[in-house]
Amino acid sequence: MSTAHKPTIGTRATWWDDGATVPLSVVIATTKAWPEIEPCLESLHDQAQAVGAEVLVGDGHGQGLPPDVADRYPKVKWIKWPGGSVFFLRELAMTKANGAVVAVTEDHCTVTHGWCERILKAHRDHPVAAAIGGAVENGATTRLIDWSNFLIVFGPFTAPIENGTQRAISLQANISYKRRVVPKKMSQLGMMEFLFNRKLHERGEILIADDRLIVSHNQTWGFWGTFAAHFHNGRSIAGFRLQQISWVERFLRLGGCVILPAYLLWTTVGPVIRKRRLLRPALASLPLTTLVVTCHAAGEFVGYIFGPGNSPRQLA
């Protein structure tokens, strides 16, 4: 590794962490058999190799990668944990990452050309930033239910996004962290970027949005599968929160589930209305989106009463 990117002695805050042995680690979790992750790796591997990065795949299926992975993708480290949820697998891979920067994407995403290089440049440009998120575009555009699925999670992070310091940045499809804030050991349920990013912001860390970082999110759950997935996502969020909140807050959040669908609908559609670029699919899918956020709220309600159950393992 060249010393060109290492900090000048005495610099208070730099992007390079002395504990790192490579400039970049890319973490991906998968719970599905090969070749589900193939488009992601094909978009990513060569550019990771070009910048000296490592790619860590947390495999909860056991056969998420091909037997010849060492020859086909020499930069990939295969971490098998059959039965692990995507949250558990991502955190597991992050604890084993060696990069000065640890990036995260999903097995159903494809990254744009130069994504790895731009991540490193963004962290050099913002040495004090704890995390940098980019833009996420929908790659599953043929069905309205897939638009609902996408916009509920990533609507605020579709282009155009406002660059610079933000309260919230894109989630597990397109985010990267300085090594200093990455978990060093496993938690009970793993990593949920939505809550992790919020915690970083609350403790005064800087979160940066950068529209040069773009990925395509190519996910379809099917019609009924989408409703089930968002129920399980809601229950998972509640389960993660239960690790940190008091009984009083638990009770308040339980009651808040009554108005949660309206809140989620506004946070989904509001940013799209302001941007206008995706207004047509957002409005066309609005009835479905209303049903999906209601399923999410039902999941949170069940989660605050009974805990996460098996819901984290139902998500991919």
Both tokens of residue 116?
């790895």
18 vs 307: CA distance, rounded Å: 39
- 35 preceded by a cis bond (ω within 30 of 0): yes
- Token pair of 225, please? 């599968």
Dihedral of alpha carbons 239, 240, 243, 246, sign: negative
CA-based nearest residue to 103, from 9, 11, 186, 213? 213
* Furthest C-alpha separation in the chain: 57
Backbone torsions φ then ψ of 144, nearest 5 degrees? -65, -35
Mapped onto helix, strand or coil, the DSSP state of residue 168 is coil
pLDDT digits (tens, 9 = 90+) for 97-125: 999 999 999 999 999 999 999 999 999 99
Q: What is the pLDDT of residues 265-308, one digit of tens each?
A: 999 999 999 999 999 999 999 999 999 999 999 999 999 999 99
The label of the residue with tokens 């490592």 reads 54
What pLDDT tens digit does each residue of the chain (316 aa) get?
A: 333 333 332 333 455 676 899 999 999 999 999 999 999 999 999 999 999 999 999 999 999 999 999 999 999 999 999 999 999 999 999 999 999 999 999 999 999 999 999 999 999 999 999 999 999 999 999 999 999 999 999 999 999 999 999 999 999 999 999 999 999 999 999 999 999 999 999 999 999 999 999 999 999 999 999 999 999 999 999 999 999 999 999 999 999 999 999 999 999 999 999 999 999 999 999 999 999 999 999 999 999 999 999 999 999 8
Domains recognised in the chain with CATH numbers = 3-217 (3.90.550.10), 223-314 (no CATH)
- pTM to 2 decimals? 0.93
- How far apart are alpha carbons 162 and 157 in whole angstroms? 9
